Amino acid sequence: MAQVLNNLFGGGKVEEKPIAGDSDFADFAGVPDAAPEAFTAAAGAGGAAAPAVTARPYTKWYRLDERYTLNDFKIEGIIFGLMAVVFVVHFIGTRLNRSKARSWAKAHAQLLAGEFALVGFGRVPAAVAAQEDEAAALETLAAATTSANPSTLIKENSLFEFASYASGRQNVAFIDTKLKLIKRFNPFMVIAEYILSFFFESMPAPSDTLEATLYPFDGKEALTVPGLPAGAANKSTYDGFVWAIVNKDRMKGVRDDRFDVSITFTKDHAKLPPWLTVMSESAEITEALLTPELIKAAEAAGESLDYLIISDQPIDKPTTLDETAPRKRVFLKYRLPSNNNYESLLPIFSYFVRSADVLVQAAHLRAEVLRKIKNSREEIAKQIKKADAEEKAEERALEREKLRKQKRDAELNALDAKAQKKYLEREREKELRKAAKKSTMRG
């Protein structure tokens, strides 16, 4: 009994065990490390236990190669694959366009260099600038430009637009040339343009085209070439008119897009190939300009030729009399060959460059023809004046209506409620009488 009481009230001694290490973590001293345990599936229908499957071992958080596999990045792989395809197509399309522009420049460099003193966007050779003798400078310049550098002949304005420039020739102030190529770097846009061209006739299918514009001096050499002898400028003048040879497949679009061609009449010519037609203001102009050289060049160009237009009228429909002022130019447009072989197109481009010489020699019309052309120009001016007068009359009517309304509102605001009611009733009765009078007159 005494032994039991002694144990209950602390009389007995408790054996203490030593704790290794820090006593603050004594409660965790015996915790075992985490280790994978075998997972045993439930017994099947026959009572036999399924084989044990070992769970995936524990790995550190930074071991990404053990936490993820390639299957986890399928969407990212597709996105990066598409980006790579777009980049490759863009790169290849850009190179193809640049290569096509360089091919055109290489094919036309010698022709342009033989016709113009300054070709492309390169500077005047230093040897020319250093010459004090004008004759020697011209000889040096001619020798320097007989073989123009294709790399400076053309300039890239965008990935699908390239430009060229030439100046320094008798009868010609300068020539602007633009190459508009297919957007090969963006196949989605090309497909969309093809689809739209299929459904809408006003939208042509995408193609590689050249659009060149020649600006003749037309007696204005003194504005850009100082020191000319008296009377020299008059030798480059010719009569103004609109004349063109146009591909029949492009004829409707050209007539719709260009005002100057819309004032001509269309007539086939026996000397031209069947895919071309003449658009002219007078048959006499056609007989003077449709030379054997032009016919031969047009036949060689084939259906790639869209048009050759000689014009003194604006491209866009004029809205003021100032816009009807004659401005003589020559336009050429053709589609570039897919194989970059320009042998068939060089004759028409050569004729285009020399067209100013033909105009100076042959484009001097009889007084009767000039009178007819002048009458058509005056008719255009009358239409513009009439439209301008109608627009001004409409503006004046609107201004009068605005002033009348302001006066009415002022009078109405100056009255009290009873007077305003009477004013509005009189106004309504007046409008009814006017309406009745109009219906009676119509009857």
Spatial distance between the Cα atoms of 5 and 8, rounded to a whole number of angstroms: 5
> Which range, 1-15, 17-31, 428-442, is most confident?
428-442
Question: Quick one: pLDDT at residue 127?
Answer: 41
List 208's β-bridge partners, or say none: none
Spatial distance between the Cα atoms of 265 and 250, rounded to a whole number of angstroms: 15
How do strand 265-267 and strand 305-311 relate by DSSP bridges?
A: unpaired
Q: How many domains does the chain have?
A: 1
Question: Quick one: pLDDT at residue 281?
Answer: 92
Q: What is the DSSP string of 143-158?
A: HHHSS--HHHHEEESS
Q: List the structure tokens of 345.
A: 């197109």
Spatial distance between the Cα atoms of 413 and 442, rounded to a whole number of angstroms: 37
Question: Quick one: pLDDT at residue 275?
Answer: 92
> Which range, 2-16, 116-130, 192-206, is most confident?
192-206
List, for residues 77-103, the tens digit of each pLDDT value: 999 999 999 999 999 999 999 999 999
Average pLDDT, stretch 222-227? 69
List, for residues 54-84, the tens digit of each pLDDT value: 555 665 666 777 777 788 888 999 999 999 9
List, for residues 271-322, the tens digit of each pLDDT value: 999 999 999 999 999 999 999 999 999 999 999 999 999 999 999 988 888 8
Give strand ranges (E) for 24-96: 38-39, 53-54
Question: Quick one: pLDDT at residue 277?
Answer: 94
- Spell out the residues 6+ positions from residue 131 whose beta carbon is closer than 8 angstroms to its own: 137, 140
Q: Would 155 be classed as within a structural domain?
A: yes
Residue 22: other Cβ atoms inside 10 A: 8
Spatial distance between the Cα atoms of 238 and 219, rounded to a whole number of angstroms: 9
Residue 190: other Cβ atoms inside 10 A: 16
Give the global pTM. 0.73
Question: Quick one: pLDDT at residue 415?
Answer: 82
Whether residue 45 is predicted with pLDDT greater than 90 in this model: the reply is no
Q: Would 285 be classed as within a structural domain?
A: no
Side-chain-facing half-sphere of 80: CA atoms under 13 Å:
5
Q: Which of 75-84, 187-196, 226-235, 275-284 has the least mean pLDDT? A: 226-235
Give the burial class of 380: count Cβ atoms within 10 A of its Cβ; 0-12 exposed, 13-18 middle, 19 or more buried: middle
Whether residue 34 is predicted with pLDDT greater than 80 in this model: the reply is no
Spatial distance between the Cα atoms of 265 and 263, rounded to a whole number of angstroms: 7
List 38's β-bridge partners, or say none: 54
Q: Would 12 be classed as within a structural domain?
A: no
Average pLDDT over the chain reads 81
Between these two residues, 151 and 304, which has the higher pLDDT value? 304
231: left (phi over 0), alpha (psi -120 to 50) or beta: left
Whether residue 235 is predicted with pLDDT greater than 60 in this model: the reply is yes
Task: Please report, as a single letter, which amino acid is at residue 229.
Answer: P
Q: Would 413 be classed as within a structural domain?
A: no
Q: Would 199 be classed as within a structural domain?
A: yes
Spatial distance between the Cα atoms of 145 and 168, rounded to a whole number of angstroms: 11
Helices 346-362/74-115 angle, 10° precision? 40
Q: Would 2 be classed as within a structural domain?
A: no
Whether residue 9 is predicted with pLDDT greater than 60 in this model: the reply is no
Q: Which of 33-47, 213-227, 367-381, 413-427 has the least mean pLDDT? A: 33-47
Query: Which residues span the domain enclosing 126?
Result: 67-207
Between these two residues, 60 and 354, which has the higher pLDDT value? 354
- Spell out the residues 6+ positions from residue 258 whose beta carbon is closer than 8 angstroms to its own: 309, 315
Q: Would 221 be classed as within a structural domain?
A: no
Q: Would 222 be classed as within a structural domain?
A: no
Percentage of residues in the chain having pLDDT higher than 70: 77
Question: Quick one: pLDDT at residue 221?
Answer: 78
Question: Quick one: pLDDT at residue 126?
Answer: 41
- Spell out the residues 6+ positions from residue 246 whose beta carbon is closer than 8 angstroms to its own: 254, 261, 276, 277, 278, 279, 306, 307, 309
Residue 324: other Cβ atoms inside 10 A: 16
Residue 102: other Cβ atoms inside 10 A: 16
The helix or strand, by DSSP H or E, that contains position 308, with its residue range, turns out to be strand 305-311
Task: Please report, as a single letter, which amino acid is at residue 89.
Answer: V
Whether residue 32 is predicted with pLDDT greater than 60 in this model: the reply is no
